[in-house]
């Protein structure tokens, strides 16, 4: 069933088909090909199809553009441009890749079937998008770019199989912030290509912010002439400093049209975002009359620092007309049904200080500044409706009352999603917990040991946590599940200065999110995903994608079978065993304040054969308090009954030489401590530096 007014309907696939598909996928799981996202159903065949210089592509006339894209992709890999022919032209079907649409198929929009035999390949889609997704699966089945198979005279093999596939969610996206850092159009296109590789279909383009306005608006040229440039930026490693270099850039309308068309050809919709009413300093600097000119100290400038800044659009008729003019040009450039108006982190201080804003509140009967923002958003929503579009905004748009027609992009907390769902509004799940790819993907210390250019905004979002996401966890019933359009990754770029860093922060986490958004929940399996991802990363290598090497998730086990016990509980999954697992990126983290006598005790699998240096380092950047041990001793024992003090902790560290025969080591707290406790690796032997161990 389609949700009313929902241009992104959710699949309504019979449960019987789902059960059969799950059985087929499960049966093939152990030997399933390296495909991400995992298809709904995979049935292995016998033999292989050999792609060669003689292979042709045959298609319906309506699929010529998709066939040409596939031909270009195959040429980039093989050096050979396959001939593209119409479906009705002469041909015997052998050694061909055939593309077709079956509009009567029971599959949902975007669904496809891929049949590979020794004789040829057939991709049949419910629609053109489905055909295109089938060709992306075919590319993943082929050897990666640069592989030996492409240099040999023999045909490149594709395993015989039958795939039936369709997306779980209709909104499968990625957001790129170009307000903080600007990326040229050709680099944006490259990112779109890699999105398409994993069947993502929404590119959310965050085009304006306090630090820069990146879209040409012909009626207001100073938006880019003035608002597109800032005097300085914080350098990596010192976020409260300046590099003193003028920075900026913007996309012309011709460039935007080109990128929009490029994405559309790959069945990706670009959803533009124009921030309002907050994050507006760049626009207000270009046209100061748009701001709250009657507040004390009014002096807008394009911001040179990250974070939230006070400049917010004035709630005046002139400013609202300006924004309608801007959105009018945006609608001409972007055919997307949705237009994003931001709405997040809008400080209300200037509205509270402005007599003009206060007069508007009294005139409109608004109780507070939150209601003024919702009034502002409703005005924009009505304008967009007049253009046949739908407003989408970050979850703050509901704090003063949510418009019935607005769609909410949830970034902060599940409660905001639950509120919107209860009201009947659609949502896109984009929560910080699982989709903020500007967070570190390995512990900060591990990343920063590679260089200050690896700095991130903070947080920790490893690959396995992205994969664990279930966007429908906020729904209370099946009807609410249908209101969840899908999910997307967020790439806020304060600390992402170039496209090389974008790729590093995005991949392979994009692969995990793609599987969250596409694959049936019951079919997901992280171990199998990791195995398949290893094959997909060969395609990354072939395409020279600057991806991050995945860090294995922690395992609750020591490195050699030794055991640990403690009087303390563990904070989340920072188990005691992680203090002796041989990894620098894991640690034990207690879940409460410390009492005298609390301990962490290591029972070695075998007694030390000779005198051995022992080092225990506590505390770390994971905690804002440091959580180092302030008062404690490091003790040793041969029998677990008689203990000797080896060293006292000073500045969170203790070290000494344990004699031969030592079987037990104990960290013991000697005075109460309000802060919790972090214990990194207990090192036996000469401890290596972090950079040496990574």
Annotated active-site residue 345? The verdict is yes
Annotated active-site residue 209? The verdict is yes
How is residue 493 written in tokens?
């770029």
For 636-655, b/e burial (b = at least 16 CB within 10 A) is bbbeeeebeebbebeebebb
Q: Which residue in this structure is represented by tokens 């055909």?
A: 131
Distance, CA of 525 to CA of 22 (rounded, Å): 12
Say if CB 393 and CB 340 are below 8 A apart.
Answer: yes
Give the alpha-carbon dihedral of 408, 413, 415, 418, to 10 degrees.
40
Could you please report the per-residue DSSP string of 636-661?
EESSSSS-EEEEE-BTTEEEEEEPTT
Phi-psi region of 212 (alpha: psi -120 to 50; beta: other; left: phi over 0): left
Catalytic residue among 198, 206, 279, 340: 279
Say if CB 502 and CB 191 are below 8 A apart.
Answer: yes
Residues 6+ apart with CB under 8 A from 612: 657, 658, 662, 684, 685
Annotated active-site residue 324? The verdict is no
Helices (H), 185-316: 185-197, 222-225, 253-265, 281-286
Catalytic residue among 68, 102, 193, 345: 345
Catalytic residue among 209, 273, 447, 515: 209
Look at strands 678-684 and 612-618 and give their pairing: antiparallel
Of the candidates 519, 509, 514, which has an alpha carbon nearest to the alpha carbon of residue 201?
514
Number of alpha carbons in the 13 Å side-chain half-sphere of residue 430: 29
Distance, CA of 13 to CA of 573 (rounded, Å): 36
Catalytic residue positions, numbered: 209, 279, 345
């Amino acid at each position: 069933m389609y949700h009313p007014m929902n241009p992104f309907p959710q699949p309504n696939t019979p449960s019987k088909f789902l059960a059969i598909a799950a059985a087929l996928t499960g049966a093939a799981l152990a030997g399933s090909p390296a495909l991400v996202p995992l298809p709904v159903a995979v049935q292995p065949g016998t033999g292989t199809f050999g792609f060669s210089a003689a292979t042709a592509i045959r298609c319906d006339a309506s699929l010529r553009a998709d066939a040409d894209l596939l031909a270009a992709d195959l040429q980039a890999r093989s050096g050979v441009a396959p001939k593209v022919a119409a479906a009705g032209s002469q041909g015997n079907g052998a050694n061909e890749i055939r593309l077709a649409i079956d509009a009567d198929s029971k599959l949902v929009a975007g669904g496809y079937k891929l049949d590979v035999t020794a004789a040829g390949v057939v991709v049949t889609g419910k629609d053109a998008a489905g055909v295109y997704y089938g060709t992306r699966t075919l590319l993943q089945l082929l050897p990666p770019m640069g592989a030996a198979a492409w240099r040999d005279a023999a045909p490149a093999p594709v395993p015989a199989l039958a795939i039936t596939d369709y997306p779980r969610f209709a909104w499968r996206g990625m957001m790129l912030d170009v307000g903080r850092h600007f990326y040229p159009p050709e680099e944006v296109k490259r990112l779109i290509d890699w999105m398409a590789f994993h069947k993502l279909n929404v590119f959310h383009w965050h085009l304006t912010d306090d630090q820069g306005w990146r879209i040409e608006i012909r009626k207001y040229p100073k938006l880019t002439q003035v608002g597109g440039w800032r005097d300085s930026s914080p350098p990596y490693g010192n976020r409260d400093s300046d590099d003193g270099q003028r920075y900026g850039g913007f996309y012309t309308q011709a460039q935007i049209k080109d990128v929009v068309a490029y994405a559309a050809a790959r069945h990706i919709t670009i959803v533009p975002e124009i921030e309002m009413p907050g994050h507006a300093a760049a626009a207000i600097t270009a046209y100061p009359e748009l701001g709250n000119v009657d507040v004390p100290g009014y002096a807008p400038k394009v911001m040179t620092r990250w974070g939230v800044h006070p400049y917010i659009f004035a709630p005046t008729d002139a400013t609202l007309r300006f924004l309608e003019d801007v959105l009018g040009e945006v609608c001409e450039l972007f055919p997307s049904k949705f237009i994003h108006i931001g709405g997040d982190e809008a400080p209300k201080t200037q509205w509270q200080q402005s007599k003009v804003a206060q007069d508007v509140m009294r005139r409109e009967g608004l109780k507070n500044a939150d209601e003024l923002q919702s009034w502002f958003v409703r005005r924009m929503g009505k304008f967009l409706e007049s253009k046949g579009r739908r407003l989408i905004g970050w979850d703050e748009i509901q704090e003063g009352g949510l418009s019935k027609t607005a769609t909410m992009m949830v970034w902060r907390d599940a409660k905001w999603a639950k509120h919107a769902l209860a009201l009947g509004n659609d949502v896109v799940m984009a929560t910080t917990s699982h989709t903020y790819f500007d967070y570190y993907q390995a512990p900060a210390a591990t990343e920063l040991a590679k260089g200050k250019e690896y700095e991130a905004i903070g947080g920790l979002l490893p690959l396995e946590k992205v994969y664990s996401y279930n966007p429908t966890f906020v729904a209370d019933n099946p009807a609410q599940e249908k209101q969840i359009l899908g999910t997307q990754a967020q790439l806020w770029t304060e600390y992402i200065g170039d496209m090389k860093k974008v790729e590093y922060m995005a991949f392979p986490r994009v692969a995990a999110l793609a599987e969250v958004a596409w694959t049936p929940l019951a079919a997901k399996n992280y171990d199998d995903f990791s195995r398949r991802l290893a094959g997909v990363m060969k395609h990354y290598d072939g395409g020279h994608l600057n991806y991050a090497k995945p860090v294995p998730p922690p395992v609750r086990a020591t490195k050699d079978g030794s055991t640990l016990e403690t009087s303390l509980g563990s904070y989340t999954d920072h188990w005691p065993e992680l203090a002796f697992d041989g990894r620098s990126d894991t640690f034990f983290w207690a879940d409460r304040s410390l009492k005298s006598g609390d301990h962490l005790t290591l029972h070695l699998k075998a007694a030390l054969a000779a005198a051995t240096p022992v080092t225990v380092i506590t505390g770390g950047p994971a905690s804002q308090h440091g959580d180092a041990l302030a008062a404690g001793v490091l003790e040793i024992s041969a029998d677990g009954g008689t203990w000797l003090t080896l060293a006292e902790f000073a500045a969170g560290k203790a070290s000494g030489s344990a004699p031969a025969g030592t079987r037990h080591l104990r960290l013991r707290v000697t005075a109460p401590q309000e802060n919790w406790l972090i214990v990194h690796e207990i090192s036996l032997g000469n401890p290596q530096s972090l950079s040496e161990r990574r």
